[in-house]
A and B are shown apart, each in its own frame.
Chain A
């Protein structure tokens, strides 16, 4: 891609072949020239779209009516392709389907540049792009789905009519939405189980001798797997060519702004190192810890032990609130020694793990404290574990009891349980914040346990007025800290240009 300063007109009709289908695998990068303005706009709008995909993903059930309605609206308003037909008449004053597809294509590749740099960024980008792709693929007509498969050379082996008949009952019992007639009439694909991991993981498919038997309407999962693999490889390659891109001064500030904007704060840079003393932790756990960490702390104090999942989740949180490595070692050792572990064994076995968390061992990765998404979605707790999100992983009855123990009002508890029932775990935690801090509105959108702690401390130390209506101007004052990174040396001119971008990233 080349980026001349001037805007260049496109040649229209011969490009039609490029965008025959409204969906694509993003295999080929765009080869045209575009203006800086378009570059910026495309990127920012796609990022908005992906952020919407992310938010809807946690606050609604995927493919529920609300989800569909909201996502459709966002896609349309941002002028991304939704419909399947090309060659529609250009709507009066609107944007043609062709141009929407072009935007889709180009914006994807621009964001690759911004999101290829770290594991976390890549993971996030792949996750949202996959969700978006899945959504758009599912909304294609069956004919267009087949079209797409053929155009992209995805040939999956179909099962013979005889085998289908033999396995009919088993197929119906394994796959959602399959009936006898459907099995007879439509294709069933046989795919090695390694290519259908999402279906295997959730046991939504029939397995026999290492093969997954996928009905036609489920083929999207397989396609997604393919999509994920390709995108993952592509991002790795893009990362390698990044230095060349970064040397272009026009692009570098925009790209880093884009990637920091999503993350907000990841709490990897500790602000209050050493400001917390170990004696304060017990009191803090009641006042300013989110429920998950309060729960972990209590379990640790009671059992003088935590398993690996719990140590990671809680240990990294403590690092995020400002504990130093020395404090952490002292904290964990003093607790474990009260249990079955003697000081020697602690030093040999567990100390290593604590130092690892602080990036002093092994690969020397300085691990970042887990965000709410990570706690909710990965590594569910099993027997003997205390980690995870209590709103997500606890039995509602037990959660209720616990909240009662913590003196939450009955009406408050009901509100929380309603939110839990609706799968709005982070909102439930926010409500817990509001109830325990005696405010009507938390004033922030919770997505990280350390954020909970910071906001709580701010509130308790009088940083904000209690029960005040938080208006938008106040909010925009709070967010810049999470959007601009002081470490970047931006030129003044670039900063002025960036001014408008901030307004794109206010949390709703």
Chain B
């Protein structure tokens, strides 16, 4: 699909257009206001902008949706990050008595970055991704989404494509936004299974009994493992990758496989042999379970998250619907119902949607006359809604809106519950 080849040099021209006519400000504002339940929630939210020439400005805050629009259109940020909701307006933090300006709440966030898997993917490295390794993101999303909902009881999760090589998750429940640093770090550690830096060879160690969370995660990994790791990544193909896998096994199994692999070149058969040997060893050894095959699957596929991103209440994270300056792609929400067919290379770039904007409009002439009578802001609003609907951005905004509506329904439910309890009729 043509993405209207994106050229970073065009950003200065495309961004103003994007912020004027395409960025979904009203939905964005609706999201960050959270129903207006807490006073000044939007006003006390920190944003940070990276402007042209890498100029970075923090502690941006806005009092209304209008002000947000005007400022973004004026400053034309290349990157937008969202931070915490503070005790005071971030733009006035210098005026506040030292020590009293504090981050109070923020969504619980997760950042899955493909570079963290460089030691286990052979198709790409660093900032590159391809359809083969994208499966890792699919696996990550499935595992984390289930755990955050079923184990932790969260309901409102927004998964977003980062624009280049990963995905972000924004957990927006009330309870999530109020979590302490310790709680966030505990959640992130609960979800971590792959541990160790450059120096650790074996990064996953399982022991009996296996926690239900690990079992759930394993069943997801198992669904994808053969196609992803054995076929696509060919981890049992070349000598180099085979050696890496063998390094995770005990000596006796390693020896057996080295000999077996001299004859058997079919990777699937090689994997099956490995599993058989592990099963065998497990049933013959009395002490505890030995899960080398499962550990291998997890080491190659299980989500790797950066605990530090999730830990901090004041940590800034790239905003949904912002642009990735290197790729031009928009950070779009991911529809989990279509997760299997999500293709990062199909995500629209800013050049594409700006180009789509210019295409002749088929049926909107009549609307124009009616709307001209309304005031300028509303007219601008409608025009913008019409605008993005004509572009590839439309379907992603729909995902976002569904997410917002679910939160609105839930808030309404909460309020009814509360008023019932107070017997307000």
Tell me the A residues contacting B by CB distance below 8 Å: 170, 172-174, 193-194, 197-198, 200-203, 206-211, 299, 308-309, 344-345, 348-349, 379-388, 390, 393-395, 397-399
Contacts and interface: CB of A to CB of B under 8 A. Distances in A.
B87 to A, nearest CB: 15
Interface of B: 54, 56, 115-119, 150-154, 175, 179-180, 182-183, 185-187, 189-190, 194-202, 209-215, 304, 306-308
B189 A202 contact: yes
Residue of B56, B119, B198, B213 ringed by the most chain A CB atoms within 10 A: B198
B198 A384 contact: yes
Nearest to B191: A203
A200 B190 contact: yes
Closest 9 CB pairs of A and B: A210-B153, A381-B197, A394-B199, A201-B186, A207-B151, A209-B153, A385-B197, A197-B186, A173-B209
Given A203-B213, A384-B116, A398-B201, A194 B306 contact: no
A325 B360 CA distance: 60
Contact of A174 (B182, B185, B186, B212): B212
Nearest to B56: A348
B213 A207 contact: yes
A197 B198 contact: no
Given A174-B211, A393-B200, A383 B119 contact: yes
Contact of A397 (B175, B179, B201, B306): B201
Contacts of A172: 209
A393 B190 contact: no
Contact of A206 (B154, B187, B212): B212
B189 A201 contact: yes
Nearest to A170: B212
Given A200-B186, A381-B198, A382-B116, 17 more contacts: A174-B212, A193-B153, A197-B182, A197-B186, A203-B213, A207-B151, A308-B308, A309-B308, A380-B197, A383-B118, A383-B119, A383-B304, A384-B198, A385-B197, A386-B197, A394-B199, A395-B202
B210 A173 contact: yes
A390 B200 CA distance: 10
B196 A381 contact: yes
A383 B211 contact: no
A210 B175 contact: yes
A451 B330 CA distance: 50
Contacts of B117: 383
B150 A209 contact: yes
6 contacts: A200-B189, A201-B189, A207-B213, A210-B151, A394-B199, A399-B199
A201 B153 CA distance: 16
A170 B196 CA distance: 28
A344 B53 CA distance: 10
A349 B55 CA distance: 10
Given A173-B212, A209-B150, A210-B153, A382 B304 contact: yes
A388 B197 contact: yes
A340 B93 CA distance: 34
A182 to B, nearest CB: 14
Nearest to A176: B209
Nearest to A394: B199
Given A174-B212, A194-B183, A209-B153, A382 B196 contact: yes
A49 B117 CA distance: 46
A200 B115 contact: no
B150 A208 contact: yes
A208 B198 CA distance: 34
Contact of A208 (B119, B151, B197, B307): B151
Contacts of A387: 197
A71 B213 CA distance: 36
Contact of B185 (A201, A203, A386, A394): A201
A335 B202 CA distance: 31
Nearest to A173: B209
Contacts of B194: 382-383
Nearest to B173: A210
B197 A382 contact: yes
Nearest to B117: A383
Residue of A203, A386, A398 ringed by the most chain B CB atoms within 10 A: A203
B54 A382 contact: no
A385 B210 CA distance: 28
A348 B308 contact: no
Contacts of A384: 115-116, 118, 197-198
Contacts of B202: 395
Contacts of A388: 197
Nearest to A345: B54
B213 A210 contact: no
A89 B56 CA distance: 72
Nearest to A382: B197
A61 to B, nearest CB: 16
Contacts of B189: 200-203
A400 to B, nearest CB: 11
Nearest to A344: B54
Contacts of B186: 197-198, 200-201
Contacts of B209: 172-174
B8 to A, nearest CB: 16
A395 B200 contact: yes
A395 B209 CA distance: 24
Contacts of A394: 199-200
A308 B309 CA distance: 12
Contacts of A299: 198
B304 A210 contact: no
A344 B55 CA distance: 11
Contacts of B151: 207-210
Nearest to B189: A201
A203 B190 contact: yes
Contacts of B306: 382
Nearest to A363: B98
A486 B153 CA distance: 55
Contacts of A386: 197-198
Contacts of B183: 193-194, 197
Nearest to A210: B153
A39 B185 CA distance: 39
Contact of A393 (B119, B185, B187, B199): B199
Contacts of A173: 209-212, 215
A346 to B, nearest CB: 11
A308 B306 CA distance: 12
B199 A395 contact: yes
Contacts of A399: 199
A395 B201 contact: yes
Given A201-B186, A201-B189, A203-B190, A383 B175 contact: no
Residue of A344, A388, A393 ringed by the most chain B CB atoms within 10 A: A393
B54 A201 contact: no
B198 A385 contact: yes
A396 to B, nearest CB: 10
B153 A383 contact: no
A340 B185 CA distance: 31
B47 to A, nearest CB: 18
Contacts of B211: 173-174, 203, 206
Nearest to A196: B186
B199 A390 contact: yes
A21 to B, nearest CB: 28
A309 B198 CA distance: 13
A213 to B, nearest CB: 11
